[in-house]
Structure 1
Amino acid sequence: MLSLILLATIAPRGALTLVPIVTLISLPDVARISRAAALEIAGRPALEAMRLQGESRWRITVGYVGRSMLRTLAADLGTRLTGALYLVAAASFLGIGVSPDAADWAVMVDRNRGGMFLQPWAVVVPALLIVALSVGLNLTFDHALRRKAHP
Structure 2
Amino acid sequence: MATGVSYAVGVPLALVAAMARRRWLDEVVMRPLDVVLAVPSLLVLILVAGIAPRGYGTVVVVVAVVTVPDLVRVVRAAALEVASRPALEAMRLQGETRRRLAFGYVVPAVAPTLVADLGVRITTSLYLVASAGFLGVGVAPDAADWAVMVDRNQAGLFLIPSAVVVPALLIIAWSVGVNLVFDRAVRR
Normalising by structure 1, we get a TM-score of 0.85
* Pairwise CA distance, 1:81: 1.1
Of 69, 84, 97, 2:110 maps to 69
CA distance in structure 1 between the partners assigned to 2:102 and 2:130 by the alignment = 37
Are positions 1:99 and 2:140 aligned together? yes
2:96 and 2:161 map into 1 onto residues whose CA distance is 61
Deviation at residue 61 of structure 1 after TM alignment: 2.2
How far 1:19 sits from its partner (Å)?
0.9
Decide whether the 8 Å contact of 2:49 with 2:135 is kept in 1.
no
Worse-superposed segment, 54-63 or 12-21: 54-63
The CA deviation at 1:144 is 2.4
What is the RMSD computed on CA atoms of the aligned residues? 1.9
Counterpart-to-counterpart distance in 2, 1:25 and 1:134: 18
> Displacement, 1:55?
6.5
Between structure 1 and structure 2, the one with the greater Rg is 1
> CA deviation digits over 1:95-133, x for unaligned, max 9?
233121111101111111121122111111100110111
The aligned counterpart of 2:96 is 56
5+ residue gaps, structure 2: 1-41
Q: Quote the residue 2:68 is aligned against.
A: 27
* Distance in structure 2 (CA, Å) of the matches to 1:105 and 1:131: 11
How many aligned residue pairs are there?
Answer: 146
Using the TM superposition, give the Cα deviation of residue 31 of structure 1 relative to its aligned residue in structure 2, in angstroms: 1.8
Shift of 1:44: 2.8
Q: What SS class does the counterpart of residue 117 from structure 1 fall into? A: coil
The residue that corresponds to 1:42 in the other structure is: 83
Identity %: 63
**Match of 2:150?**
109
Q: 2:121 aligns with which of 68, 80, 105?
A: 80
Letter in 2 for 1:26: T
Specify whether residues 87 and 5 from structure 1 end up closer, same or farther in structure 2 by C-alpha distance, changes over 3 A only. same
Does structure 2 retain, via aligned residues, the 8 Å contact 1:8–1:21? Answer: no
Aligned partner letter, 1:37: A
1:5 corresponds in structure 2 to 46
Aligned counterpart, 1:126: 167
SS of the aligned residue for 1:99 comes to coil
Offset at residue 92 of structure 1 (A): 1.4
